Amino acid sequence: MKILAFETSCDDTAVAIVENGTKVLASVRNSQPDHSEWGGVVPELAARLHAENWRKTLEDCLDQANVSLSDIDALAVTQGPGLQTSLLTGTTVTSFLGMLHQKPVIPVHHILGHITSCVLDRKIPGILFPSLVLTVSGGHTSMYLYRDFTDVQLLGTTLDDAAGEAFDKCAKMLGLGYPGGPIVSDLAQKGDRNAYQFPRIFLEKESFDFSFSGLKAAVYREIEKNPLAPLSGEKENKKSQEKNEWENFCADICASFEEAVKDTFLEKIRRAFSAFPDIRQVHFVGGVSANTYLREKFLGFCSEKGIELLVPAQFEYCTDNAAMIASAAYFEYQKNPGILEKGFIEPDPRLQF
């Protein structure tokens, strides 16, 4: 079964075709670099660019997979959560294509897409249940018990900022650009991970929830103390010695920040292992799962316990992509063939599981 999916929940226009939930025939993403100067995604701009980009992204995807729309068995689309005006392009275009080409449409929850992303380019028997899934991105940070492709139990979620958002804000406070995750993680490699003792918020003893706002505030307080900091947003014009000093400071902040994020996750994984001793695999997914330091540390921790760690098979499946939506749609369809919809799919920015 070939499913063509659209994903337009935030700032990337993505289209993919996936066969039987795992085999990616093509996955195309048109990122929107124009947001960087604003330090975050501007919904109106994102909506305009989705409207401009969807057709070319669709054509590129069909070309890459060397198929036409008549070869597709079903369509899928991210229904939510996300930015209403961004979701609207995906749901409108997919609904329209479904009517025009007489194809059913499967609405998909964005996070279920991330949760399914480890199966892409892998074989289904390689996915072991129950597994612990950490979905960590700019919009969400949650931990799930994954008992089957469509049986997902939420264990905990962030009470304030998502981890990716904390990476983005850390970079923004240091005047380093957007998205902050890759920048902070590159700089962290040059810094001292023990330079600053930032808080690790574990919450109550049994809690699987997360909180990153205290960490963000502690980073802000440390930056604020440095007279070289560009906190007011003006472009700095530093002399070369000050430049070196500032770069070392940024590296230490990023390294200490990343260390605190790592410790926080390891503690939550440890708690999940002791509460659910039958966990057989850990899946680390979402944009932040592209982080090599976190991957390495999670891998070390899981191997010690004899549990396998899976991350998406390609870096491009960590961040938002349409292949994960097509895959999740396939498993939803397997469980409930009645999910196929004909007619208009309404976007739902606050869609619940």
According to DSSP, the residues that pair with 284 across neighbouring strands are 134
Q: Are 116 and 327 in contact (CB under 8 A)?
A: yes
- Using CB distances below 5 to 8 A depending on partner kind, what does residue 164 bind out of ligand KG4, Zn ion, none? ligand KG4
Stretch that binds Zn ion, among 188-196, 226-234, 277-285, 314-322 (CB under 5 A): 314-322
Stretch that binds ligand KG4, among 115-123, 131-139, 242-250, 297-305 (CB under 6 A): 131-139
Selected binder of ligand KG4 within 319, 325, 345, 351 (CB under 6 A): 319
Count of residues in contact with ligand KG4, rule CB under 6 A: 20
**Distance from the first to the final alpha carbon of the chain:** 24
**Residue 10 or residue 309: which is nearer to ligand KG4 going by CB?**
10
Q: How far is the CB of 314 from Zn ion (least distance, A)?
A: 15
Which sign, positive or negative, has the C-alpha torsion 222, 227, 230, 232? Answer: positive
Q: Does 320 bind Zn ion (CB under 5 A)?
A: yes
- Using CB distances below 5 to 8 A depending on partner kind, what does residue 252 bind out of ligand KG4, Zn ion, none? none
Structure tokens at 303: 């191997």
CA dist., res. 221 & res. 172, Å (int): 14
| Cα–Cα distance list, 239 to 230, 233, 246, 247, 252 (Å) | 14, 18, 10, 12, 20
Q: Does 286 bind ligand KG4 (CB under 6 A)?
A: yes
Q: Are 265 and 282 in contact (CB under 8 A)?
A: no
Selected binder of ligand KG4 within 284, 320, 323, 333 (CB under 6 A): 320
Amino acid type, 289: S
CA dist., res. 214 & res. 31, Å (int): 31
CA dist., res. 42 & res. 290, Å (int): 24
Q: How far is the CB of 126 from ligand KG4 (least distance, A)?
A: 22
Within 224-253, the residues that bind ligand KG4 by CB under 6 A are: none
Q: Does 11 bind Zn ion (CB under 5 A)?
A: no
Q: Does 137 bind Zn ion (CB under 5 A)?
A: yes
Residues forming contacts to ligand KG4 in the complex (CB under 6 A) are 10, 137-139, 164-165, 167-168, 179-182, 185, 286-288, 290-291, 319-320
